[in-house]
Amino acid sequence: MKLRSERLSIDDYDAAIELFYERGWTDGLPVVLPTPGRVEALIAHAGRDAQESLGAIPPKGGEATVEKLAINAVMGGCRPEDFPVVLAAIEAMLDPVHNLNGVLQTTHMCVSLVIVNGPLARTLGMNSRDGVFGNGYRANAAIGRGVRLALWNLGGAFPWDTDKSTLSHPAEYTFCIAEEEADNPWAPLHVERGQPPGSDAVTVFACEGPHSVFCYGTPEEMLHVLSDSLCSLGNNNVHVLGQTLVVLNPLNAEEFARRGWSKDDVRRYLWENARRAVADVRACGVVHEQFRKMERDAGRYPARYDLDNPTTRVPVTARPEDIHIVVAGGRSYFAAVLPGWGGFGGFAVTREIRRKP
C-alpha cells in the first residue's frame, strides 16, 4: 500500500510519544503511535483508496484523506473495525449543514457528538446503556477520540488561537455514544432520519454536554420536567432556536410506550410546552435580543412569533422535528438534555457507515 505521509523514525518509545507533544500533534493525552502497519490495517479494512479525500477540514483546510484520517484514528486507539465509523462521522461533519467551521471556532461550548446506530455498534462493543456518556468502553472512547484528533491535526482549531470556545467541555477529547436499540420501543434515530432498518449509520450533532434531568414517573410527570429543562434561559435554543437533543433512558421510553406515547408524540408535546414568555427572554439582556432579531431578519426565526409582545411564548426550536430524541443509558431515574448551538449551525447530519465492498 502506497502511503504519502511523512515518515519519522525514532529509537525510543518515550521520545516518540514526547515528539507528538513537542509538535502539537496531540490533544494533551498520549497517543498510540501511528506505525505504517497499524495505519495500513485500518485503510485495508475500510477498503477505501488511501488518497480519497472526504473534504477539507476547517478552519485551516487540511485535506481529510483516508490515509490522514487513519493515522489520527490509530493515534486515538481505533482498531481497524472502528475506522469506518470515523470515516462516516467526518463525512457527516463536513456536510455544510453542520457548519463545522463555526462549531470548531465559536465562543459557545458546543462540540460535535457522534451517535452510532445499527448492528455494527453491537459488534464493536459500543456502550449504549449505563454510563453511556462516560468512560470504560474502547469503541466509544477510541472512535470519538480518533475523530477529535483528526479535527485537531487537520483542522487546526486550537484553544487560545482560532478555537474561541469560552469554556468548552471534556467532550473535546472524545464524544461518541451508541443508541440503545434492543431495549427501545421506538424506531432508532437513523431510521427516523431516513436510513433503512438494520443499517449502520452515524448522526453528528453539535451540542453542550449532557445536563442531568431527574426524570421518573408517569409520562405527564416526565414531560413536565423535560419541558422545563429544555428551555433554561442559559441555553442558546431559547434565544435563537436551532436544534436540541433529548436522551431518554430505556425505562423512560418503555413507560412512554406502555402508555401509548410514540416518540413523535413526546417530541410534539415538548415542542409545544418547552417555551418561555418573551418577557422572560427579554429580561436576559439586549445582546440576546439582538441575536434573536438578527435571526428573524435572516428569515430563520418564524414570523408567527411576535417578539415585541411580552406574553408570546417562544419555542426552543422552529419545528418539532428539530428536537432530536435518542434512547440510551441505564434503566434508572435520569434522562439528559443537550442543548445545541442555536440557529447558527451544528445541525444534525446522518451518514451511512460504509462497509468494505
Partner 1 sequence: MIEFLSPVWPAATAARPAAKRPRSLEGIRVALVDDNLDIPFTTRLESLLAERHGATVRRLVKPSGTAPSPAVLIDEAARDGDVAVVGIGL
List residues near partner 1 by CB under 8 A.
3, 5-13, 16, 23, 25, 33-36, 39, 58, 62-63, 68, 71-72, 75, 99, 101-102, 106-107, 149, 153-154, 164, 290-291, 294, 297-298, 344-345
**Closer Cβ to partner 1, 161 or 220, answer by number:** 161
Cis omega (within 30 of 0) on the bond before 59? yes
Smallest CA-to-CA distance from 70 within 61, 79, 62 is with 79
Task: Map grid coordinates 503511535 to a residue.
Answer: 33
Q: 250-258 vs 263-273: helix axis angle to the nearest 10?
A: 100
Q: Closest distance between partner 1 and the C-beta of residue 141, in Å?
A: 18
Beta bridge partners of 323: 244
**Closer Cβ to partner 1, 95 or 183, answer by number:** 95
Chain Cα centroid distance, residue 295: 23
Q: Closest distance between partner 1 and the C-beta of residue 10, in Å?
A: 6
Nine-digit cell at 176? 461518541
Q: Closest distance between partner 1 and the C-beta of residue 29, in Å?
A: 14
Q: Closest distance between partner 1 and the C-beta of residue 121, in Å?
A: 26
Measured CA to CA, the distance from residue 140 to residue 142 in angstroms comes to 6
Q: Closest distance between partner 1 and the C-beta of residue 239, in Å?
A: 13
Measured CA to CA, the distance from residue 231 to residue 323 in angstroms comes to 12
Q: Closest distance between partner 1 and the C-beta of residue 145, in Å?
A: 13
Smallest CA-to-CA distance from 244 within 124, 128, 342 is with 342
**Closer Cβ to partner 1, 61 or 198, answer by number:** 61
Smallest CA-to-CA distance from 99 within 351, 319, 348 is with 348
**Closer Cβ to partner 1, 141 or 149, answer by number:** 149
**Closer Cβ to partner 1, 99 or 229, answer by number:** 99
The answer to whether the CB of 353 falls within 8 A of the CB of 118 is: yes
- Extended beta strands in 43-144, E state: 53-57, 62-65, 111-117
**Closer Cβ to partner 1, 101 or 128, answer by number:** 101
